[in-house]
């Protein structure tokens, strides 16, 4: 019997506000433990929350960018559960009346158009952070840092529209690029500002009824998401094939063993005993304000990619490589305009410049100025230097940011000026092709 997987994601995105969602404490990452806290985010008796207006704005922007309907009225609720890094014993979230619902994300991967429905986008506060290692007595104690407690979050919940692990990872990348483009999240998954829970089940291919859902918590990379889903789908398929029943539970991805491990039995909504937050009034969103935010949204990544295909005659793959984020896209457009060669500009940015950026742990637009790349392309197009020698050399040396190149220089002088490496230029003299 053939099985298929059914996948839905819950993406947790911290919002790039300067202060927390219900108090004035800083949200800056990396501060000394428990140095950015107050009675409100520590959950001390008598402390009252006050909603951060900028967090509401960013939540609305995210909902609009994901194709959602924005509700004029939404309500905060208490989600009750115990965990050491949740100081109040409940989390302020949204449940029955979220700020946005019924969205749709359309995107293209490998020439295939895909659609994923967004069930809801709701606001909530982040929890603190339990630290299980790094102290002499970590084998006996867990330490808690409450700096993250109260940092504003949105949770983006999808319908179970995804079928393959790679498809889920691609969708997660797509959402990340949208959140970056509209400026509500910094995209830093290593620091935990963007993370994902995956809900996955298996069923006989062709069946309509869903299988038993398992949740995999706290995945903070596209690769981990794909690997965890691959393992979990295989595990569930073996369980069902053997005639057993998959348990509804929450699991964690163990990167050291490459396996998911059981964390706890999966809770239902009634386990959290949701009820409206009595200390916060309903959130009222003016439709005119929402329309203003809609009108001021920047060009979104998929829109930009389609424009690059049409305006610059790029393939979908090339357009995707140079339009992934706003700064890279702006950088590409400068190079393309200055060089008047859109294809070569894409090749240089996606090839040598991207390779050097990875080596230097920089963004691609930091390794060389647009003027430098454009002038080098112009030299190649004018027949002053050959592409093969030029690309081969550029892939192995460090770019500099000189913005001038004399087109009448000999190739070895060009290397000196462009790459700022005299010794290498002399050593490469015999290897370079001079096309004059």
Identify the residue whose tokens are 């049409």.
310
Mean pLDDT over the full length of the chain: 87
Structure tokens at 10: 């819950």
The pLDDT-based confidence of 401 (bands split at 50, 70, 90) is very low
Identify the residue whose tokens are 């790459």.
419
Contact 227, 216 (CB under 8 A): no
pLDDT tens profile 93-122: 999 999 999 999 998 887 788 999 999 999
Same domain? 257 vs 315:
no
Listed range (11-20, 220-229, 354-363, 401-410) with the worst mean pLDDT: 401-410
Alpha helices in 189-314 (DSSP H): 222-241, 287-295, 301-311
Put residue 178 in one of left, alpha, beta given phi > 0 → left and psi -120 to 50 → alpha.
alpha
**Contacts of residue 407, Cβ cutoff 8 Å, sequence gap at least 6:** 375, 378, 379, 382, 384
Residue with more model confidence, 278 or 404:
278
pLDDT tens profile 25-46: 999 999 999 999 999 999 999 9
Same domain? 362 vs 244:
no
Report how far residue 42's alpha carbon sits from residue 56's, in angstroms, rounded to the nearest whole number.
Answer: 22
Domain end marker among 295, 316, 335:
295
pLDDT tens profile 57-95: 999 999 999 999 999 999 999 999 988 999 999 999 999
Same domain? 229 vs 310:
no
The parent domain of residue 133 ranges over 3-295
**Residue 224 included in any domain:** yes
Confidence check: pLDDT of 218 > 70 = yes
Confidence check: pLDDT of 387 > 70 = no
Q: What is the arithmetic mean of pLDDT over 159-178? A: 96
Same domain? 189 vs 288:
yes
Report how far residue 168's alpha carbon sits from residue 161's, in angstroms, rounded to the nearest whole number.
Answer: 9
Confidence check: pLDDT of 397 > 80 = no
Tell me, what's the pLDDT at 269?
A: 66
Contact 222, 240 (CB under 8 A): no
**Residue 433 included in any domain:** no
Tell me, what's the pLDDT at 417?
A: 46
Local structure of 308: helix, strand or coil: helix
Same domain? 273 vs 312:
no
Same domain? 283 vs 320:
no
Buried b (16+ CB within 10 A) or exposed e, 74-111: bbbbbbeeeeebbbbebbbbbbebbbbbebebebbeee
Confidence check: pLDDT of 141 > 60 = yes
Confidence check: pLDDT of 267 > 50 = yes
The pLDDT-based confidence of 391 (bands split at 50, 70, 90) is low
Please give the tally of structural domains in the chain.
Answer: 2
Residue with more model confidence, 388 or 224:
224
Contact 374, 339 (CB under 8 A): yes
């Amino acid at each position: 019997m053939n099985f298929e997987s059914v996948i839905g994601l819950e993406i947790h995105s911290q919002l790039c506000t300067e202060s927390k969602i219900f108090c004035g404490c800083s949200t800056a990452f990396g501060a000394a433990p428990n140095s950015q806290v107050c009675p409100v985010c520590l959950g001390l008796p008598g402390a009252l929350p006050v909603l951060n207006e900028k967090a509401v704005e960013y939540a609305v922007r995210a909902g609009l960018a994901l194709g959602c309907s924005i509700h004029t009225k939404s309500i905060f609720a208490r989600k009750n559960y115990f965990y050491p890094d949740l100081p109040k014993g409940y989390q302020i979230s949204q449940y029955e009346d979220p700020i946005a619902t019924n969205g749709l994300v359309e995107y293209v991967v490998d020439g295939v158009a895909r659609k994923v429905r967004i069930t809801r986008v709701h606001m909530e506060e982040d929890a603190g952070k339990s630290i299980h290692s790094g102290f002499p007595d970590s084998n006996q104690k867990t330490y808690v840092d409450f700096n993250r407690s109260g940092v504003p979050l949105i949770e983006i919940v999808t319908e179970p529209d995804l079928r393959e692990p790679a498809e889920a990872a691609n969708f997660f990348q797509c959402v990340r690029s949208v959140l970056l483009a509209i400026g509500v999240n910094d995209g830093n998954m290593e620091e935990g500002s963007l993370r994902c829970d995956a809900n996955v089940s298996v069923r006989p291919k062709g069946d309509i009824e869903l299988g038993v859902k398992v949740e995999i918590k706290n995945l903070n990379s596209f690769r981990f998401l794909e690997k965890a889903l691959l393992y979990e789908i295989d595990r569930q398929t073996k369980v069902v094939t053997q005639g057993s029943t998959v348990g509804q539970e929450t699991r964690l991805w163990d990167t050291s063993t490459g396996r998911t491990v059981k964390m706890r039995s999966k809770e239902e909504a009634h386990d959290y005993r949701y009820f409206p937050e009595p200390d916060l009034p309903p959130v009222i969103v003016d439709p005119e304000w929402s329309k203003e935010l809609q009108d001021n949204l920047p060009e979104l990544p998929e829109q930009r990619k389609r424009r690059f295909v049409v305006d610059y005659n790029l393939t979908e793959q090339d357009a995707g490589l140079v339009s992934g984020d706003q700064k890279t896209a702006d950088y590409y457009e400068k190079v393309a305009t200055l060089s008047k060669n859109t294809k070569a500009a894409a090749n240089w940015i996606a090839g040598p410049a991207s390779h050097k950026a990875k080596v230097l742990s920089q963004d691609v637009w930091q390794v060389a100025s647009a003027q430098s790349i454009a002038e080098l392309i112009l030299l190649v197009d004018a027949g002053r230097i050959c592409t093969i020698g030029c690309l081969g050399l550029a892939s192995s040396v460090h770019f500099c940011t000189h913005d001038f190149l004399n087109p009448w220089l000999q190739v070895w002088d060009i290397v000196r000026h462009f790459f700022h490496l005299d010794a290498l230029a002399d050593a490469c003299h015999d290897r370079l092709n001079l096309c004059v």
